[in-house]
Amino acid sequence: METQTQTITKETKTATGPMTGAEAVIHCLLAEGVDLIYGYPGGAIMPVYDELYKFQDRLHHVLTRHEQGATHAAQGYARTSGKVGVAIATSGPGATNFVTGIADAQIDSTPMVCITGQVGSHLLGSDAFQETDIIGISTPITKWNHQVTRAEDIPSVLAKAFYIARSGRPGPVLIDITKDAQFGELDFKYEKCKGVRSYKPVPETDPKTLQQAAELINSAKKPMIVFGQGVILGEAEEELKNFIEKSGVPAAWTILGLSALPTAHPLNVGMVGMHGNYGPNKLTNECDLLIAIGMRFDDRVTGNLETYAKQAKIIHFEIDPAEVNKNVEVDVAVMGNVKHTLAEILPLVEPNTYENWLQEFKDFDAVEYDKVIKDELYPSKEGLSMGEVLRGINEETKGDAVIVSDVGQHQMIACRYAEFVKSKSNVTSGGLGTMGFALPAAIGAKMGAPEREVVAIIGDGGYQMTIQELGTIFQTRVPVKIVVLNNDFLGMVRQWQQLFFDKRYASTEMVNPDFITIAKGYHIAAKRVTKREELQSAIEEMLASKEPYFLEVCVEKENNVFPMIPTGASVSDIRLC
């Protein structure tokens, strides 16, 4: 088709005029400010890739080695950059390989737009080659999805997709485009979406709730804050800090809330949840006011709901009405973006200090340090611990690195012991618990924050689930630092088998390959550490490198992560051993 009549406006640098649907997809992405996408080509998306080839100077495509890797890379990019991650794949298995990453993004509220190709509209429902109903499959795990069968619908649908993905509580959107829609013609004009009828991304804040919340805060004797990722997504870090410092309330965090407040802040009392810190878990059931900010009362945080904070009044600062009273009944719900609601309540909050109450947290900290932390960070036995690896990384990075962790024991150790001085520094799979997340997510995280050091902390099990993404690192030369903590076990499952299944280690011991040889096969510098005296120099060498680097640390095989709240137990039943 002739496209010579297209024009480029200086304001948008986006074409207008006649073009194909495939070309329209590219111009929609450019209009939304996208300059980086992750994907894997195939037959049903080939027209889009053909157009993408023509725009390589404006839209960089990263060829991952698996479509799941593309979604996790897009997640990592979104988490460190604050932008919408974009992933693209073909129909059938290409689309279904997106499912894990989409589900992960949905439960962790990560803004992402996924574009899949589809068979021609005349073949829909005929079980054509590589046809899969990805709309039906992805409906429960997307914030919104839509199938496009006409070229002229592409601009409005993609505009709506980006608006929904990034607005309110963010999340993943999937757009499925039939092949005939990609070949079809349209007169292209792009207008960014500014609203969708019946969709209200940010609820209005009732001033009465601010007053009610302030009254509870000002009258509390033992208040406690638990903040989550809503603070980071709402860019409310400064507002949170101001609120904490004026109110004087001790603040704990969920896994995804980590890094919203500097680790060393004097009112930062640690992590809540199954492997969280001793004090904030125990004192959850002793506080008289629990202030939840941008968190959703996940079961890993609450433990047994029948015994969770029953003595406390509860205030919930939240953007998503569906999360209010879903798991925990609250006394006051303050709706809206926490960036605004925390700022609005600040003048109503009286300055305070809770020295005796804060001392209770410190007393529990001392017990935890003596019983758990000292041996994890400074072990006296011969074998290496995961904690001392994190301590070594902290010493070199001074808390300025982005830590991307996979799922398992190493994840809990990373979240417990990594030190952070700035936000968007902790990237991990929270709600879905996706093994294999970290390696591709680290690629995206580094591309989203190229000026920052990015260190992936991975177990030997999760590493092998997406190990093929070493090929992506080799091809792009993205300088991520990969640390595999190798205990030759699926460590977290083994820990549960030891504690609750009489040490019946059913299918958890790993017979691993030579990870160093594999890394070198991808031309990635690599080193293995087996002795304590080798560790710090190896960490220094890794972080000094300007290239990708792989470090394998062979750690104790049967170390456990404590504290721990057994499944179904109360947060008060947290164990130190």
Instruction: Please check whether residue 201 is in contact with residue 160, taking contact to mean a CB–CB distance below 8 angstroms.
Output: no
Identify the active-site residue in 13, 54, 129, 540: 129
Q: Strand, coil or helix: what is 244? A: helix
Instruction: Please check whether residue 287 is in contact with residue 312, taking contact to mean a CB–CB distance below 8 angstroms.
Output: yes
Identify the active-site residue in 67, 360, 388, 453: 67
Nearest Cα to Cα of residue 376 among 573, 577, 559: 559
Determine the length of the chain. Answer: 577
Instruction: Please check whether residue 210 is in contact with residue 334, taking contact to mean a CB–CB distance below 8 angstroms.
Output: yes
Q: Is 318 a catalytic residue?
A: no
Instruction: Please check whether residue 283 is in contact with residue 356, taking contact to mean a CB–CB distance below 8 angstroms.
Output: no
Instruction: Please check whether residue 110 is in contact with residue 116, taking contact to mean a CB–CB distance below 8 angstroms.
Output: no
Residues 6+ apart with CB under 8 A from 354: 221, 222, 223, 248, 249, 250
Q: Is 520 a catalytic residue?
A: no
Residue 50: alpha-carbon gap to chain centroid: 32
Q: Is 106 a catalytic residue?
A: no
Instruction: Please check whether residue 307 is in contact with residue 280, taking contact to mean a CB–CB distance below 8 angstroms.
Output: no
CA atoms within 13 A on the CB side of 163: 17
| Phi/psi at 63 (5° precision) | -85, 105
Identify the active-site residue in 179, 241, 313, 339: 179
Identify the active-site residue in 6, 46, 55, 130: 130
15 bridge partner residues: 8
Residue 442: alpha-carbon gap to chain centroid: 11
Cα–Cα dist 462/443, whole Å:
16
Strand (E) or helix (H) holding 447:
helix 438-448
Q: Is 130 a catalytic residue?
A: yes
Q: Is 147 a catalytic residue?
A: no
Give the chain's radius of gyration (CA, Å). Answer: 25
**Continuous H helices in 337-408:** 338-345, 355-368, 374-377, 386-397
**Continuous H helices in 139-261:** 154-166, 179-183, 207-219, 230-233, 237-247
Identify the active-site residue in 492, 510, 542, 564: 492
| Phi/psi at 112 (5° precision) | -155, 140
Cα–Cα dist 435/441, whole Å:
11
Active site residues: 67, 129-130, 179, 492
